[in-house]
Chains A and B, each alone.
Chain A
Amino acid sequence: MKLLLKFNLVFLLVFALGLGAAGYIARNMLQKGAHEEVLGHARLMMESAVAVSGYTANQIKPLLENQMKYGFLPQSVPAYSSFEVINALRAKHPDYSYKPAMLNPTNPRDRAQDWEEDIISQFAKSPTLTEYVGQRSTASGQAMYIARPIRLSNPLCLQCHSTVDAAPPTMIEKYGPANGFGWKMNDTLGAQIVSVPMSVPLKRADDAFGVVMGSLAGVFVLIGLVLNLMLWKLVIQPVTKLSALADRVSLGELDAPEFAAGSKDEIGVLSESFARMRKSLVHAMKLLDN
């Protein structure tokens, strides 16, 4: 087996093992990173919704109070404004969906579905629970979600949601007297839920994995090519020439040309040693002839 073949076999083995190990580690890290990144975006989205809700309740609603005497403006409702703002954000992040899921909402659009009710009941059972991350199966595949409880902490909300009599008449005109009343301070009313299909983080991880592995393989191949070229040029080619010269000298061709190594490395030392050995051989042969 030739030296180059041996070298390449070992190199390929190391390459395969290294690429496999690096791929395994990278894949895990990238999937975890993509997962965290998606969760981070979801959290940011949810915090934006909370900020918009607070801003609406504390600053926008008082400004619209007079107008509310003429007609109900849903823009004064914190949940409505946060929903609208997040919907606008979804234009650039279409994979994310947001819902302020409520058990007893004024706007029927916000009514919680079965799986959302389960999450809300978990928050109701555990008042210290502030966030819940989970996965669920949907028609379009597996989805991950992050949920945070909506607990009544702002007394301003009771202006519209305590009793029918206390609520603005224009709100009753718009939504009727059946829903969205009887709220109490510190009650768990619902949950803000941001859902993302699992395919999103997985695709992100796969995309990043492809780039990492492609780059790694490219670097390995480049290293292999360079090492092969150097091995050929610096070791195999001079050794082959030296071997051919040794063959000629050993067959009695004592006037064969000198081997010019042209370098001071190990091959150069070997060629100098060979030249000395050849001179000694020529000298010994001359002594025998005499």
Chain B
Amino acid sequence: MFARVLCWLMGLGVAAVCQAQTPVGLATVVEGDAVLVRQTTKLALKPGMRLMSGDLLQTGPTSAVVRIEFGNGAIADLGPLTQVMLQPRLASGARRRQAPLYALTGWIKLSGSPGKEPANEALLSESLDLSKLNGAAVVSIQPKASQVFAESGTVTVTERRQGQAASAVHLKPDGWYARAGSDKASVAARPPGAFMQAVPKAFLDPIPARAGLFQGRAEPAAKPLGELGYAEALPWLGAEPAVRSWLVTLWKAQLNADLRAGLSSHVKSHPEWDRVLFPENYPSAGAAPAPASRP
């Protein structure tokens, strides 16, 4: 009972903290189970919830679609088994990589802002970045393969290899980009049937923008689902170095016991956390070192 009350209070606390921030997106459709991780607190995602920079979203296997609508009119639909981060601040050498969304894994359908110039960056991921989206694109980011389908309009796909931007491909309407692991990417005028069959059914029909329905309405109360455990956070803790560094900044003030214990016992896999977990080893204060290796 005490744990539940504590959890609820923490959820309220997180919500209160985030009220001070500017929302970067709005959850307008939640069909199926979806979890919002704010700081290190898990919340049940509901339509109408404002999403902040650094929020993590995770859809379950039975989730049909979760829609995020951004302030500039751009839309991201998430399919089942998808994990994304809202507006991360990722350092990439001297410059920052910025986009409304970072995809760790899963299916994402991105629709550009109608009647506006295509955004420079639409989506970031470890294997590719999407930019100059002028229409709609369906992206599949899986551990062993990444695919992009320019459903309508055009989009630029920038390959990323070992954390660095490599070649860029400009996909025409109906064009398909695929890359398996570290193989060379392939581009085709049309996607193969297997890809078409795998696309989540909810992506096939265009759903009109719904952000207007939530204007002037109070945000639904966030229902806390507990604290993010180490095992649950592991996919993100094992992401590319830029993401892991950003997570240190994001989570270091809210580390819960399970996360701290897990990180402490596996600190060799998460060297970026060493300074946070064991400050006594670092007499002079400074920024956390970027992770050099993956767990």
Contact = CB atoms under 8 A, between A and B. Distances in A.
Contact of A70 (B189, B204, B206): B204
Interface in A52-76: 63, 66-67, 69-71
B15 interface: no
B152 interface: yes
B151 A69 contact: yes
Contacts of B174: 69, 169
Determine the interface band of chain A, counting residues with CB < 8 A from chain B. under 10
Given A169-B174, A169-B190, A66 B199 contact: no
B152 A69 contact: yes
B199 A70 contact: yes
A63 B205 CA distance: 8
B114 to A, nearest CB: 14
Nearest to B150: A69
Nearest to B206: A66
B196 interface: yes
B195 to A, nearest CB: 9
A170 to B, nearest CB: 8
Given A169-B174, A169-B190, A70 B205 contact: no
Interface string A158-178: 000000000001000100000
Contacts of A169: 174, 189-190
Contacts of A63: 205
Contacts of B193: 71
Interface string A65-90: 01101110000000000000000000
B205 A67 contact: yes
A169 B175 CA distance: 12
Nearest to A67: B204
Interface in B69-114: none
A interface majority secondary structure: helix
Contacts of B206: 66
Given A71-B196, A169-B174, A66 B204 contact: yes
Interface in A71-111: 71
B190 A70 contact: no
Interface string B147-179: 000011000000000000000000000100000
A173 B197 CA distance: 14
B196 A66 contact: no
Contact of A66 (B189, B190, B205): B205
Contacts of B205: 63, 66-67
A67 B205 CA distance: 6
A70 B196 CA distance: 6
Interface of B: 151-152, 174, 189-190, 193, 196, 199, 204-206
CB-based closest 5 A-B pairs:
A67-B204, A70-B196, A66-B206, A169-B190, A70-B204
Given A66-B205, A67-B204, A169-B190, 16 more contacts: A63-B205, A66-B151, A66-B204, A66-B206, A67-B205, A69-B151, A69-B152, A69-B174, A70-B196, A70-B199, A70-B204, A71-B193, A71-B196, A169-B174, A169-B189, A173-B190
19 contacts: A63-B205, A66-B151, A66-B204, A66-B205, A66-B206, A67-B204, A67-B205, A69-B151, A69-B152, A69-B174, A70-B196, A70-B199, A70-B204, A71-B193, A71-B196, A169-B174, A169-B189, A169-B190, A173-B190
